[in-house]
Amino acid sequence: MTRAAVLAGGVGAARFLDGLVRVLPPRDVTAIVNVGDDMEWAGLHISPDIDTVIYTLADMVNPETGWGLRGETRRTLDRLSDLGGPDWFMIGDLDLATHLFRSHWLEQGNPLSTITRDLARRAGLALTILPATDDRLRTLVNTDAGEFSFQDYFVRRRAADTVRSLRFDGVETAQPLPKAILALLEADVIVIAPSNPFLSIEPILSVRTMRETVIKARAPVVAISPIIGGQAVKGPAADIMASLGHDVSALGVARLYAEIADTFVLDQADAALAGEIEAETGLHVDVLPTLMVDAAAKTALARGVLEAAGHAV
């Protein structure tokens, strides 16, 4: 039996997990998912990363965007736009039901983790999906133009502002889920998914005891670079790394994970960096095709990552 715990952001993480549950029995996989990008929108609680993981694994995701639902319509959003309401955040009619469901049960006093479990079960998923915390945690982006919520910065303002720093509002008091700590301690392999290191992974690791648990857990920690050939596959990772003064490269990412990871997986396109990364960071480096263009690529990456951690499957 190989038990895997995966620190996960949005699209990249969801695709990696989709491969992993084709290689391992889903019940042996636990995803610990970023909630720093969660937002309140018109009274509703939206958890973009959790939804992307669920939609992707349930094969309901919109393949064009990597997020949202396939066959989506926008009756409500178009009408909201006509009314002069907030229409900058794309929410389809079917997607909206997820947010209403979540908001309803939160309002009734249920924790986000329970609601996430119910949504995952309803989608027919057997892996465990845990929010990084049930408490309020919000990534705030400090830019030249002021401090914004992540979605404000990324969607509404189209990531046009220069980022100076990030802040995780609520992180001082947010509690990790005991189940997440246990999953990390019992894991045979811990994977840091190819997600944004600052916006997706750091908010998870910043929840108290989480970073220490990952470091002290007996399992090898494998981090997958979200940067390929100096570019982010998706999202604002490259911009943010550059803004914050980091090298926008697999090397730059490897430096961020030097203390926490054992093995670093980078794409074949960056194979030339392997020696330099090993020498500078002391990480063991594995070169794999990391672009998850289809199910075969996802499965191959998952298999490669498990092998890199010494768990051939």
Interface residues with a copy of itself (CB under 8 A) are 40-45, 73, 75-77, 79-80, 82-86, 93-94, 96-98, 100-101, 103-107, 118-119, 122
Measured CA to CA, the distance from residue 147 to residue 158 in angstroms comes to 14
CA angle 124–125–131, rounded 5-degree value: 130
Hey, which bits of the chain come out as E strands?
4-8, 29-33, 39-41, 44-46, 128-131, 138-143, 146-149, 163-169, 189-192, 221-224, 227-228, 231-232, 263-267, 284-288
Name the residue nearer to a copy of itself (CB basis): 54 or 283: 54
Name the residue nearer to a copy of itself (CB basis): 98 or 263: 98
- Written as one string, the DSSP assignment of 144-160 is TTEEEEHHIIIIISTT-
Name the residue nearer to a copy of itself (CB basis): 62 or 76: 76
| Smallest distance, a copy of itself to C-beta of residue 139, A | 20
| Smallest distance, a copy of itself to C-beta of residue 127, A | 19
| Smallest distance, a copy of itself to C-beta of residue 198, A | 28
- The CA-atom distances, in angstroms, between 11 and each of 199, 203, 234, 292, 313 are 13, 16, 8, 10, 25
CB of 57 within 8 A of CB of 49? Answer: no
CA angle 84–88–89, rounded 5-degree value: 125
Max intra-chain CA distance, the chain: 59
| Smallest distance, a copy of itself to C-beta of residue 196, A | 27
Tokens of 162: 């220069």
Name the residue nearer to a copy of itself (CB basis): 119 or 189: 119
Name the residue nearer to a copy of itself (CB basis): 79 or 164: 79
Name the residue nearer to a copy of itself (CB basis): 75 or 216: 75
| Smallest distance, a copy of itself to C-beta of residue 129, A | 15
| Smallest distance, a copy of itself to C-beta of residue 233, A | 30
